[in-house]
Amino acid sequence: MNSVDHLTCPIHQQSLKTGLALIRYGLIRFSEAYRTARDEQFQNSCFYTMGGCGLGTRLVQQVQYCDQCRNAHLMWCQTYTSSEGLPPARTAMLGILQHGMGMQPEITITPPDLPILLANGQLVEAAKRIREANPHVDFGTILIHLNFLNRHTELDELMAQVESGVLVTLSDS
Ligand SMILES: [Zn+2]
């Protein structure tokens, strides 16, 4: 065992690259056909990474992947009309990231002075202001949404990584 083995795909004898992948939490059941194909043909496609059974707040993680494994994985899915282990399409990815950060779609109006309140850490005031603008939304939902607003820079960074292909998505069809 040496470090070169560690960084090379044993199937394709190719150096692994570094990228980002969505973390999937919970138990995910793959078909036996998929698992066999993955182990034999594309064990380093790493479009996803497993986050275990707990629920974490992190959405993506750095992974080492093999280009040829990714191609083989895509071809396998095409051949067997499957989408197992594939990344989401671009629009779906945006939804996953927004939802993962706490975006609550029922909150449709955000008061204009909200960024200043958030920057000053006046969370209670910010929550009240959102409630006034969205009277049908309960307070718990508003608090989750505040978290999303606070993570906007993070979301922008992730979208830039989707843009540049570091975080891979499929094209919307
Ligand atoms: Zn490979």
Across the strands, what pairs with 63? 19
Mean pLDDT check: name the lowest of 41-50, 53-62, 140-149, 151-160: 53-62
Tell how far the Cα of 72 is from the centroid of ligand 1, in angstroms: 8
Tell how far the Cα of 9 is from the centroid of ligand 1, in angstroms: 5
Using CA atoms of 55, 59, 60, 61 in order, give the dihedral in degrees to the nearest 10: -30
Any idea which residue has 């150096």 for tokens? 15
Q: Give the tens place of pLDDT for each residue, 120-139.
A: 999 999 999 999 999 999 99
Cβ contact 104:148 at 8 Å: yes
Q: Give the tens place of pLDDT for each residue, 15-61.
A: 999 999 999 888 888 999 999 999 999 999 999 998 766 667 789 99
Question: Region 60-77: what's the mean pLDDT?
Answer: 96
Residue 2's pLDDT is: 45
Please say whether the dihedral angle defined by the alpha carbons of residues 156, 161, 165 and 168, taken in this order, is positive or negative: negative
Distance of CA 42 to the CA centre of its chain: 21
Tell how far the Cα of 65 is from the centroid of ligand 1, in angstroms: 8
Residue 6's pLDDT is: 61
Tell how far the Cα of 14 is from the centroid of ligand 1, in angstroms: 6
Strands (E) across 12-116 are located at 14-15, 17-24, 48-50, 60-65
In this predicted structure, the answer to whether residue 4 has a pLDDT above a threshold of 80 is: no
Tell how far the Cα of 4 is from the centroid of ligand 1, in angstroms: 14
Using CA atoms of 53, 29, 68, 43 in order, give the dihedral in degrees to the nearest 10: 70
Q: Give the tens place of pLDDT for each residue, 81-108.
A: 999 999 999 999 999 999 999 999 999 9
In this predicted structure, the answer to whether residue 160 has a pLDDT above a threshold of 80 is: yes
- How many separate helices (H) and strands (E) can be counted in the chain? 8, 5
Tell how far the Cα of 40 is from the centroid of ligand 1, in angstroms: 10
When pLDDT is cut at 50, 70 and 90, the band that residue 157 belongs to is very high
